[in-house]
Amino acid sequence: MLPTRDRFCLAVLHQILARRVVSAGPSAAKDRSLGFELVLHRPLETTALIRYVDYFRVARHPLMTPKAKGWDNCLSLIQYVEWGERRKPESFTHRYWGITLPSSVMSTGTTNQVLERRVRQLLLLQETAKKVNSILDLEKLLDEIVGRVAEAFGCNRTAVLLKDDARNDLEMIALRGFSNVHLKGYRFKIGGEGMVGPVSATAKMRYAPDVRKDPYYVVSESTTLSEVDIPLISRGKLIGIFNAQSSAVDAFSPEQIDLLCALADNIAIAIENARLFRQERLEKEKALHEHAEARQIQRALLPAQEPLISGYAVDGFCLQLNAVGGDWYDYLNLGDGFWGIALGDVCGKGMAAALLMSATRSLFRTAAEGLHSPSEVLMRLNEALLKDLPEGRFVTLVYSILDTKRATARVANGGHPYPIFVREQTNITELKTEKGLPLGLMNSEYSEIGLTLQTGDRVLMYTDGALEATNGGGEEYGTSRLVKSLQKPGVSARSVLTEVQKFASGGTLSDDATAIVLRRE
């Protein structure tokens, strides 16, 4: 398809001159810079002109002169061209077109002025079409439409009415030049009063060269003498009406109306694009709002501070990134020197995962009351989740009960990554349990593993977000790197996840990553 400006220039030839190509050809066949002339004097189809021109590579050297004197109302279009390969019509741009109307072929100076005015209107409408197609804010788009079209044709009043499908009427959304009779927000019934009535009912353009003689016209602006209403059609459906009014009788010529109808097609497309953009923006804002709420829920459910346990240091940290996840951790003071330390991950992301995390945390605290066996707690919690979780949802959870008086810990695991135990930098063990499916899927037994803690011993509990973080080369962080982090002096949950984040700085951390570090001091 030709660029928009070229199409408008060809429209000038077609609509104003209404002529046909009768002679065309290079003035010489040997010289590489050749004159090329088109003499038009009968109805012309745009493609006819292209067929003659597309054999030549046009250079920027226009010269306009009449070839045949005495021909009235003809146009000679002479371009200096370079003989060369065939060019597609799409390759021509407005820079290659030179159009002028020689005074020797004009019957009067008035005709020249009319044609020049029409060319200006065409170019202004072309700029309007380009402008409206670049604006995605609906209100700005509509204001731009009514302003630029009024400028192009000197209309006293212009307006855009959009159809409200829910109410089956038309609402005046944008306007220019109207008095207090019709303001923004005024509504018209489909098929109702005024010229917009039959236009909205039939989806056909209506022009009243003298509104005083039009049976549908209802007086609203006393100075209006001519009015045109053009339906805005998108995907075969009426979405609105473009209205233009003038204080002069028969102010809109057939050529102007044709151009306005062509512009209306661009307006309809631009309005639909702006609506889609607004819908997508609202949906995005809604999603962001839901994510923010999920973040707040997630943060509110995490411990506000670390527990103070004599002879031990424990800290947890949740690295929250782009996606809202279901990671959570909790500390329970079970009394008599017993502490419960839990780390879980709810399947999924977003608000649903955050809500399930909230429910799981509440059920976990209820299940943990009065029990010093982590396996019994997980069995009780699994029974509750089987009743409450939606189908396809589940929770992974590792739960450890620390006995500070005996310096021991027992661990049960429900489908969660195995905790890592480090002693004296060389004794590294994954705390694996024999039985334990993710919670909420099916009935399951949960086994335990016990260990005695010595001074300097460390235990790392973490979620799969830390394990599966990838760098720019697609390599996962993995267990070995977690072990190295755990072996460093002064290790904490924050320091472990900080290294995970640095590793994934050139790659992806697709899920929240959470960790708890327990140290015997």
Per-residue pLDDT of 418-438, as tens digits, reads 999 999 877 899 999 999 999
Kindly report, residue by residue over 131-183, the tens digit of the pLDDT: 767 777 777 778 877 887 777 777 888 989 899 988 999 988 888 888 866 78
CA torsion angle for 120, 124, 130, 133 (degrees, to 10)? -140
| DSSP 8-state class, residue 105 | G
pLDDT winner (highest mean) among 30-39, 86-95, 501-510: 501-510
Verdict on whether the full-model pTM lies above 0.95: no
Which tokens is 138 given? Answer: 């609906």
Q: Please give the Cα distance from 468 to 504 (Å, whole number).
A: 10
Residue count (the chain): 521
Mean residue pLDDT of the chain comes to 77
Question: Edge to edge, what strands does the sheet with 169-176 contain?
Answer: 187-189, 169-176, 157-164, 237-246, 226-234, 206-208
Rounded to an integer, the average pLDDT of 30-44 is 34
CB 340 within 8 A of CB 368: yes
Judge if 242 and 121 occupy the same domain.
Answer: yes
Asked, for residue 289, whether it belongs to a domain, the answer is: no
**What is the rounded CA–CA span in Å between residue 444 and residue 426?**
34
436: left (phi over 0), alpha (psi -120 to 50) or beta: left
Does one domain contain both 128 and 46?
no
pLDDT beyond 50 at 103:
no
For residue 496, is it within any domain? yes
Final residue before a domain boundary, out of 107, 128, 153: 107
Question: Which has more confidence, 401 or 174?
Answer: 401
Instruction: Tell me how far apart the alpha carbons of residues 402 and 332 are, in angstroms, rounded to a whole number.
Output: 10
Same domain, 148 and 259: yes
Q: Please, is 200 exposed, middle or buried when counting C-beta atoms within 10 Å of its C-beta (0-12, 13-18, 19+)?
A: buried
CA dist 459 and 468 (Å) reads 19
The first and second tokens of residue 110, run together, are 């008035």
Residue 152 included in any domain: yes
Whether the per-residue pLDDT at 359 is higher than 50: the answer is yes
Among the ranges given (71-85, 309-323, 389-403), the one the predictor scored with the smallest mean pLDDT: 71-85
pLDDT-based confidence at 349, cuts 50/70/90?
A: confident
Task: Read off the DSSP letter of residue 439.
Answer: B
Ordered alpha helix ranges (H), 18-86: 46-53
Range with the largest mean pLDDT of 64-68, 292-296, 385-389: 385-389
Terminal CA-CA length for the chain = 77
Two structure tokens written together for 18: 């209404």
Residues 170 and 214 in one domain: yes
Report the candidate in 145, 157, 147 with the shortest Cα–Cα distance to residue 221: 157
Cβ pair 236, 271 in contact under 8 A: no
Please check whether residues 192 and 81 belong to one and the same domain: no
> Are 122 and 62 members of one domain?
no
Return the percentage of the chain with pLDDT > 90, whole number: 41
Distances (CA, A) of 222 to 177, 191, 252: 12, 23, 18
User: Which residues does 232 contact at the CB level (< 8 Å), separation at least 6?
Assistant: 160, 162, 238, 239, 240, 241, 242, 264, 267, 268, 271
CA atoms within 13 A on the CB side of 490: 1
- Choice between 66 and 349, residue whose per-residue pLDDT is larger: 349
| 389 shares a domain with 324 | yes
Residue 506 has pLDDT above 90, yes or no: no
Is the pLDDT higher at 68 or at 435? 435
Q: Which two tokens stand for residue 49?
A: 């002109």
Query: Could you tell me which of 502, 406, 412 has the C-alpha nearest to residue 461?
Result: 412
Of the residues 80, 107, 134, which one is the last residue of a structural domain? 107
User: How buried is residue 397: exposed, middle or buried, by Cβ count under 10 Å (0-12/13-18/19+)?
Assistant: buried
Residue labelled with tokens 């609906």: 138
- 342, β-bridge pairs: 330, 399
Residues 309 and 240 in one domain: no
Could you tell me if 239 and 323 lie in one domain? no
60 against 127, higher pLDDT: 127
Mark whether 263 and 409 lie in a shared domain: no
What CATH number has the domain bearing residue 187? 3.30.450.40
Token duo for residue 56: 């030549």
Q: What is the mean pLDDT of residues 478-502?
A: 93
**Would 488 be classed as within a structural domain?**
yes
Across 356-371, average pLDDT: 92
- Regarding whether 237 and 312 lie in a shared domain, the answer is no
Residue 288 forms part of a structural domain: no
Give the mean pLDDT of 43-68: 34
Predicted pLDDT at 14: 45
Question: Is 283 domain-assigned?
Answer: no
Tell the burial category of 454 from Cβ atoms under 10 Å away from its Cβ (0-12, 13-18, 19+): exposed
Read off the pLDDT of each residue in 334-340 and give the average, rounded to a whole number: 96
Is there a domain that residue 82 lies in? yes
Number of domains in the chain: 3
Domain span at residue 8? 4-107
